[in-house]
Amino acid sequence: MRIKASMSDETPYKKLKDPQLKNNIFGVPEGYFDSLKEKTHLEVSAEENRFLKKEQLKKGVFNVPDGYFDKLNEKIISATSITKEEGILGNEHLKGNAFTTPENYFEKLNAEILSKVKPEAKIIPLYQTTWFRSVAAAVVLIMVALLSIPKNEVSESELLSEISDEAIINYLEERQAIEYELLSSIEGLDAILDNMILEETSSYSFALNENPELDYDFEYLDY
Amino acid sequence: MDDHQIIEDFKNPTTRNKAFNVLLERYQQRIYWHIRKILIDHDDTDDVVQEVFIKVFKNLDGFREASQLYTWIYRIATNEALTFLKKRQRKQAWSIDDVNHDLENKLTSGSYIDGDEIQVKLQKAILTLPEKQKLVFNMKYFDDMKYEEISEIIGTSVGGLKANYHLAVKKIEEYLAQD
């Protein structure tokens, strides 16, 4: 730690050395010091034998953790060096680990992970099986074929023109009411929606299965 | 045994367990501390670190070594830790501020935190950073990783990472200079 040189002999303020300046400009009432002496003497003698004199009371009531003062210096130095030129980058103390683990944690961790992975047989999800994919492809093909067959029936607008506007409005309103009733009667709808969202956010596990090298974007890394 | 050998041995059923044991020995602590700095709490970290290695076990068969083994594991760990936070946020209907507040509470009153005042203050400063800056700072400052490696893990260009790191350092120094 750098020690600054004493400045008392080198003060540039020479005027302060003028002895006249040292003369006292303040006064006190006459006989003040005599009475003060008596007053304090009385007070002291009265207090002399009281508990404040007892040695054990002079011991502080405050305590510090073991080795506190040994560490204090180090702490102050490390704290002050942060704001100086080198900043946090050169501060080795800061790089120290602030966290700990329970005793023997890492020894137990190995065993725990191994117990969880060993008995498990590799489960292939349904959507990854060949037969499932073939069936799915066939279903898609049939649907496409069905949809592409031209319809010979009358067009939708022609059909609708035969129904009165009022009937259509009534029908739509009724349907809306039913939907609303249905939704509000489902208990814990919020919880169901939350679960759906959760499952979607867990889709990374699917990505992991499909592509073990995780070539997907991090959706949660935002600025 | 180098990482390539671990992967080879893992693919062989007779040496699989031994290879996985070596992998665990080699990486469990690094991955634990990486996750711990994101989640702060020991028990949360314990859950996630186990999840990470179970995922590694299940997917190592298909690992094509396009990246290094340990950057791959780090990538899974980062993703799992962030997903864990996101899930908790959704479950509790928290804002991002609530999440940070919870992490700060764990830092000041949680168990297994041993740092002195200035070290804890540094962790608090890190909590104020945006996600990506937080990750880059932890990996560069505490783990001395190369930008190229971090880039493989969190998928950002080296230039972007450097910018993020310098921003993080600046913000943390400002935070620490406050009383």
Nearest-neighbour CA in chain B from A210: distance (Å): 9
The CATH 1.10.10.10 domain(s) of chain B lie at 114-179
Share of chain A above pLDDT 90, in %: 0
Instruction: Judge whether residue A215 has pLDDT over 50.
Output: no
Tell me which of B28, B31, B65, B83 to substitute to probe the interface with A (most A C-beta atoms closer than 10 Å).
Answer: B83
Mean pLDDT of A133-139: 77
* Phi, psi for residue A107 in degrees, rounded to 5: -65, -40
Judge contact between A106 and B50, C-beta under 8 A. no
Helix boundaries (H) for chain B: 3-11, 16-39, 42-59, 69-92, 96-109, 117-127, 131-137, 147-154, 158-177
Instruction: Judge whether residue A150 has pLDDT over 70.
Output: no
Share of chain A above pLDDT 70, in %: 37
Quote the tokens at residue A149. Answer: 């067959």
CA-based nearest residue in chain A for residue B123: A98
**Measured at the alpha carbon of residue A40, what is the angle toward residues A37 and A43, in degrees to the nearest 5?**
150
Instruction: Judge whether residue A184 has pLDDT over 90.
Output: no
Instruction: Judge whether residue A7 has pLDDT over 50.
Output: no
pLDDT-derived band at A30, boundaries 50, 70, 90: confident
Between A and B, how many residue pairs show a Cβ–Cβ distance under 8 A? Answer: 150
Nearest-neighbour CA in chain A from B117: distance (Å): 8
pLDDT-derived band at A73, boundaries 50, 70, 90: low
* Cα–Cα distance, A109 to B49 (Å, whole number): 9
Q: Does B128 touch chain A (CB under 8 A)?
A: no
The CATH 1.10.1740.10 domain(s) of chain B lie at 1-95
pLDDT tens for each residue of A77-116: 555 455 555 677 777 777 888 888 988 888 888 888 888 8
Which of the two residues, B43 and A174, has the higher pLDDT score? B43
Of the partner residues B66, B90, B173, the one whose CB lies closest to the CB of residue A197: B90
How far CA B152 is from CA of A77, A170, A191, B99, B164, in Å, comes to 37, 59, 37, 27, 15
Per-residue pLDDT at A201: 60
Pick the CATH number of B1-95 from 1.20.1260.10, 1.10.10.60, 1.10.1740.10, 3.40.50.1820: 1.10.1740.10
Quote the tokens at residue A87. Answer: 């900043």
Q: Does B43 touch chain A (CB under 8 A)?
A: no
Instruction: Judge whether residue A6 has pLDDT over 50.
Output: no
Per-residue pLDDT at A4: 46
Instruction: Judge whether residue A207 has pLDDT over 70.
Output: no
Q: Compute how many other C-beta atoms are within 10 angstroms of the C-beta atom of residue B152.
A: 18
Quote the tokens at residue A167. Answer: 């009937």
Per-residue pLDDT at B86: 93
Listed in sequence order, the residues at least 6 apart from A142 whose beta carbon sits closer than 8 Å to its beta carbon are none
Quote the tokens at residue A182. Answer: 């249905």
Quote the tokens at residue B122. Answer: 């540094």
pLDDT tens for each residue of A187-205: 566 666 666 667 666 665 5
Per-residue pLDDT at A123: 56
Does the domain made of B114-179 have the CATH classification 3.90.79.10?
Answer: no
Instruction: Judge whether residue A221 has pLDDT over 50.
Output: no
Residues of chain B with pLDDT under 50: none
Q: Which residues of B touch A103 (CB under 8 A)?
A: none
* Cα–Cα distance, A191 to A180 (Å, whole number): 18
pLDDT-derived band at A45, boundaries 50, 70, 90: low
Per-residue pLDDT at A117: 82
Give SS3 for A7. Answer: coil
Mean pLDDT of A37-50: 59
* Phi, psi for residue B113 in degrees, rounded to 5: -125, 125
- The mean predicted confidence, pLDDT, of chain A is 66
Which of the two residues, B170 and A185, has the higher pLDDT score? B170
Per-residue pLDDT at A91: 74
ipTM of the modeled complex: 0.73
Q: Which residues of B touch A122 (CB under 8 A)?
A: 58
